[in-house]
Amino acid sequence: MPTIEPFEDRVLLKKVETENRTSGGLFIPETARKEPSQEAEIIAVGPGRVLDDGTITKMHVKVGERVWVGKYSGAEVNIGEDVFHIMRQADLLGRVVND
């Protein structure tokens, strides 16, 4: 698989598959799922956005973190059988924090 390095303040992420069972243990087929996952894992992070004065903005996320994204946000990128999404850091909704 090729390595992808996002430009500026973009991140490459892979959406985390949602649970395919109900609380009662029944399996939900892929065709019955209506909503795309909103949780994703960050795979790669760009260096930061270059401002007009030449300074680079700091990235607030790092590789391996889990984040929340909009249901249909980002550009979808297919590499082999894997599906990734690229979007700007500002389009991320928040970080998943474990208790």
For residue range 41-80, list pLDDT tens digits in order.
999 999 999 999 999 999 999 999 999 999 888 999 998 8
Residues 96 and 67 sit within 8 Å (Cβ to Cβ): yes
State the average pLDDT over residues 12-36. Answer: 71
The partner residues of 82 in beta bridges, in order of sequence, read 79
| pTM (predicted TM-score) | 0.77
State the average pLDDT over residues 80-93. Answer: 93
Q: Hey, what are 39's tokens?
A: 């949780």
Which CATH entry fits the domain spanning 10-95: 3.40.50.300, 3.40.250.10, 2.30.33.40, 3.40.50.970? 2.30.33.40
For the chain, what are the domain ranges? 10-95
- CA 61/CA 31 separation, integer angstroms: 33
